[in-house]
Amino acid sequence: MKKNKSAFITGITGQDGSYLAELLLKKNYTVHGLIRRTSVLNIDRIQEIIDKYEKIRKLKIHYIDVTDTSSITNLILKYKPNEFYNLAAMSHVGISFFTGEATLNINSLACYRILESIMKNHKSCKFYQASSSEMFGSSKPPQNEKTEFNPQSPYGVSKVAAFHTTKYFRQAHGIFASNGILFNHESPRRGLNFVTRKITHSLARILIGKEKKIELGDISTKRDWGHSKDYVRGIWMMMQQKKADDFVLSTGINYSIEDFVKKVFRILNLDWKKFVTTNNKAYLRPSEVRNLKGDSSKARKILKWKPKYNLDDLCLDMLKSDLKLYGMTLDEAKKIAKKL
Q: Which residues are at the interface with ligand F7E (CB under 6 A)?
A: 91, 93-94, 132-134, 183-184, 193-195, 198, 216-219, 221, 223, 257, 283, 285, 288
Task: Tell me how far apart the terminal alpha carbons of the chain are, to the nearest angstrom.
Answer: 63
Q: Is the peptide bond before 307 cis (omega within 30 degrees of 0)?
A: no
Instruction: Name which of ligand F7E, ligand NAP, none residue 191 binds, using a CB cut-off of 5 to 8 Å depending on partner kind.
Output: ligand NAP
Report the 3 state secondary structure along 40-86.
CCCCHHHHHHHHHHCCCCCEEEEECCCCCHHHHHHHHHHHCCCEEEE
**Cα(162)–Cα(108) distance, integer angstroms:** 5
Binding mask 49-88 vs ligand NAP (x if CB under 6 A, - otherwise)? ----------------xxx-------------------xx
335: helix, strand or coil: helix
Let me know if 173 is exposed, middle or buried by CB neighbors in 10 A (0-12, 13-18, 19+). middle
Q: Which of residues 179-218 bind ligand NAP (CB under 6 A)?
A: 182, 184-185, 191
Which of 89, 204, 261, 276 is close enough to bind ligand NAP by CB under 6 A?
89
> 203, 208, 201: which is closest to 336 by C-alpha?
208
* Residue 14 touching ligand NAP (CB under 6 A): yes
Instruction: Name which of ligand NAP, ligand F7E, none residue 145 binds, using a CB cut-off of 5 to 8 Å depending on partner kind.
Output: none
Instruction: Name which of ligand F7E, ligand NAP, none residue 30 binds, using a CB cut-off of 5 to 8 Å depending on partner kind.
Output: none
Question: Shortest approach of ligand NAP to residue 132 CB, angstroms?
Answer: 4
Q: Between 162 and 267, whose beta carbon lies closer to ligand NAP?
A: 162
Show which residues are catalytic: 132, 134, 155
Q: Between 35 and 219, whose beta carbon lies closer to ligand F7E?
A: 219
Which of 4, 27, 42, 340 is close enough to bind ligand NAP by CB under 6 A?
42
* Residue 103 touching ligand NAP (CB under 6 A): no
Q: Between 203 and 232, whose beta carbon lies closer to ligand NAP?
A: 232
Q: Between 221 and 241, whose beta carbon lies closer to ligand F7E?
A: 221
> 247, 251, 250, 289: which is closest to 145 by C-alpha?
247
**Cα(213)–Cα(141) distance, integer angstroms:** 33
* Residue 293 touching ligand NAP (CB under 6 A): no
Which of 90, 214, 264, 315 is close enough to bind ligand NAP by CB under 6 A?
90
Residue whose beta carbon is closest to ligand F7E = 132
Q: Between 112 and 283, whose beta carbon lies closer to ligand F7E?
A: 283
> 293, 292, 289, 228: which is closest to 97 by C-alpha?
289
Spatial contact of 199 and 223, defined as CB atoms under 8 Å apart: no
**Cα(313)–Cα(243) distance, integer angstroms:** 33
DSSP 206-239: HHTTS-S-EE-S----EE--EEHHHHHHHHHHHH
Q: Between 43 and 336, whose beta carbon lies closer to ligand NAP?
A: 43
Q: Between 231 and 275, whose beta carbon lies closer to ligand NAP?
A: 231
Instruction: Name which of ligand NAP, ligand F7E, none residue 17 binds, using a CB cut-off of 5 to 8 Å depending on partner kind.
Output: ligand NAP
| Rounded CA Rg of the chain | 20
**Cα(322)–Cα(212) distance, integer angstroms:** 16
* Residue 16 touching ligand NAP (CB under 6 A): yes
| Contacting residues toward ligand NAP, per CB under 6 A | 10-11, 13-17, 36, 38, 42, 65-67, 87-91, 106, 130, 132, 182, 184-185, 191
